[in-house]
Amino acid sequence: MVKGLPLIEKPNNICEGCILDKQHKETFLEGKSVRKKAPLEIVHSDLCGPTQTPSIGGTHYVLTFIDDYKRKPWAFLRKQKSEVFEHFRQYNDVVEKQSGYYIKVLRTDRGGEYISNDFL
């Protein structure tokens, strides 16, 4: 299926114990997740979609914003990707007025909707 990919031969004589012995597993620290110390230090955002089936209002995208401090999700239903910056500005205005803090970092997947000229 992929041209130019070398064939890798798998060894036949490796026992299950050897494989399990070579695997390394780190435990998760319970209750030790690093959270920011103040609201809006980091806001995570993503645009999900397009969905195959539109919502009742005809939208195909879901835009989310999550403050790392409060972990409160905000979701906006959108018809087009081009509406992301407009709704980011609305979200920004509301949360900054409510909290008295400013967004320091907007963490995204650097999708095309987040690297438009408006965002830059």
Query: Is domain 42-114 given the CATH code 3.30.420.10 in the classification?
Result: yes
Q: Domain segments of the chain: what residues? A: 42-114
Q: Model-level pTM?
A: 0.68
For residue 76, the SS3 value is strand
What is the rounded CA–CA span in Å between residue 1 and residue 9?
17
pLDDT tens digits, one per residue of 24-82: 777 766 666 667 788 999 999 999 989 899 889 899 999 999 999 888 899 999 998 88
Report DSSP state, residue 52. Answer: S
What is the rounded CA–CA span in Å between residue 79 and residue 59?
4
| CA distance to 8, 18, 21, 94, per residue, from 11 (Å) | 10, 13, 17, 59
**Is the distance from CB of 40 to CB of 104 less than 8 angstroms?**
yes
